[in-house]
Amino acid sequence: MIPPLLLAKIKVKICSCLASEEDIAAMNALQSLNGTLIEYYEISSENESKGGGMGRLVSGLFSTNSTSFGPSKGAELSICDSIGGPILKIDFEESDNDTGSETRKIPLKKIGGISPNDSFMSSASGICIYSKKKNENGESGELCRFNLKTLSGDDRDEVIAFMNTVKRWNEKRSIKANEDETDEDDDVQQKIGLGQTALKMKHFAEREIELSKQKRDRESRKARYLKDSGGLKYTAIAMANR
């Protein structure tokens, strides 16, 4: 099976008659978007965000919610294919990669919103990406945050427009392909898998019980048949001896 982004590129470049307007718009956006240089902000752990008072103060100045962020890291942004569908990929610069992970990958199907970061003291080129899944307060969690390596608000709006174009294309494509667009946590997926396994086990157990019952019925019928056959045999012998 050809990955969706590659398939769209083939249709646009080789057989444009098969490409839709959404395909063309998404591939143009992709060409402009991929390779964008950014300053990526790693989300800090809960313990770190609750550490020093000055850390909480700085976090509050730069953030509109309770999420805390560490120092920025130079990176390159792109959207590409993966086994699970198109992803937003952030490749860290070698000198800034101190986490042991060279890339950060976010499935497009998990992205709910892409918007400017207009919090107090934020850069004019700041962008926030939010998840589809909402918390108990009805708020979307923040998946990542970054600044463009330019200070132009116009550039930021253009990048957001490109990302939203590819995101909408992927959503329409997924619907046509009947793909699962739900944004479930791994533990939820695991529970679903366990539930399906339990149903299968129940089915096989019920089937085993049914087969055992059928076997007992056959043996019971066989025993009755042999008993009846034996009785007729001895009756015939008695009559013959008269």
* Chain segment 3-54, per-residue pLDDT in tens: 999 999 999 998 888 899 999 999 999 999 999 999 998 776 554 444 444 4
Mean pLDDT per 10-residue segment, the chain (242 residues): 90 88 94 92 57 44 56 90 92 63 87 83 79 81 88 81 95 86 48 57 76 84 69 60 62
C-alpha distance across the termini of the chain, in Å: 85
CB < 8 Å & 24+ apart, contacts of 44-49: 44/68, 44/69, 44/70
Whether the model clears a pTM of 0.85, i.e. scores above it, the answer is: no
Q: Is residue 5 a contact partner of residue 86, using CB atoms and an 8 Å limit?
A: yes
Q: How far is CA 146 from CA 27, 69, 130, 176, 190, in A?
A: 23, 10, 12, 32, 31
Angle in degrees, CA 213, 219, 221, rounded to 5 = 100
Would you give the DSSP letter of residue 180?
Answer: -
Q: Residue 222 is which amino acid? A: K
Q: What is the pLDDT of residue 59?
A: 44
- Residue 138, sorted as left (phi over 0), alpha (psi -120 to 50) or beta, turns out to be left
Q: Rg (Cα) of the chain, in Å, rounded?
A: 32
